[in-house]
Structure 1
């Protein structure tokens, strides 16, 4: 009986020590979030989604973005375009290069990073760290801008 009680105490203590991520809505002040899908104008040129974050004020000292999730994909590719603007870039499966029997021809292909938890339409989840502790912020009603279809490149060495 004493063994069972000790086992229960150890399991309860170990469960409570699991690092839990907290939602925080005050550390990052966001003015606007929107996303835009894009597709390259040439076959195999790729496609993706860009999420734009416009902040009301600069990030506090010690705060940094880790990753951003939209639907069931996430990225760590977050570029700072100026002090208040960031762009998160996602690659999608549309218009990607086809797989080849010769694996050497597949060099550079990356498998998409799918999340088990899928966000609802119009939601974006931002993960960030402050002084080593991870937090997240869920943004609702994110607007989608019209798709950006990049034109194909002009043929090079075209003599007319």
Structure 2
């Protein structure tokens, strides 16, 4: 009888301990959400987003997020732009070293597989958790400086006029 009580006690204690340790890691990840740099090694002169739409049906649409620096330390590496629940790779331009753009292309609604057979539903790709709660006109800049990853929140991105791309290239000859 005592042997059974010990066995039951162990069975109840182990899951509780595992659950307790798993919450410790979650609390640490939540701390990441609010640890924004207050004095980054750069100054932003302009930050805006601009919607665009292709002139052809299959061309799609999207939003480009532009960040222009007036000053930036040479050893800062701009990594990603977090915007509207998406993580965009920040792409630089060799001709404009103080300008970075994140490209967000709106994808057509993908088909979600719903089936009684769970093996068919495995093909659905789960969405990743977005680490920040942002307003529509806010973004977070992820960058590396002095060997560490940092985050800087950009508030009040302005919206530039939408770019409607033409249906076909007017300079194209048939």
TM-score range, shorter chain: 0.5 to 0.7
The equivalent of 1:83 in structure 2 is 97
Q: TM-score, normalised by structure 2?
A: 0.62
Are 1:152 and 2:167 counterparts?
yes
Q: TM-score, normalised by structure 1?
A: 0.67
4+ residue stretches of structure 1 with deviation over 3 A? 18-22, 96-99, 113-118, 154-158
Q: Give the deviation of 1:91 after TM superposition.
A: 1.3
Which is richer in helix? 2
How does 1:38-53 map onto structure 2 within 5 Å?
38-53=52-67
Q: Is the 8 A contact 1:72 1:114 kept in 2?
A: no
Once residues 159 and 86 of structure 2 are traced to their aligned partners in structure 1, the CA distance between those partners, rounded to angstroms, is 16
Give structure 2 stretches of 5+ with no counterpart: 1-12, 112-124
Q: Give the deviation of 1:69 after TM superposition.
A: 1.2
Q: Give the deviation of 1:152 after TM superposition.
A: 1.0
2:135 is aligned, of 110, 117, 120, to 120
1:120-160 per-position Cα deviation (integer Å, ceiling 9, x unaligned): 121011111113311111111110011101001159774xx
Q: Is the 8 A contact 2:51 2:64 kept in 1?
A: yes
Are 1:29 and 2:47 counterparts?
no
Q: Give the deviation of 1:97 after TM superposition.
A: 9.3
How does 1:99-138 map onto structure 2 within 5 Å?
115-116=129-130, 117-138=132-153
Which deviates the most, 19-28 or 43-52?
19-28
Larger Rg: 2
In the comparison of the two structures, how many residue pairs are matched?
Answer: 136
SS of structure 1 residue aligned to 2:167: coil
The alignment yields a C-alpha RMSD, in angstroms, of: 3.5
Give structure 1 stretches of 5+ with no counterpart: 100-110
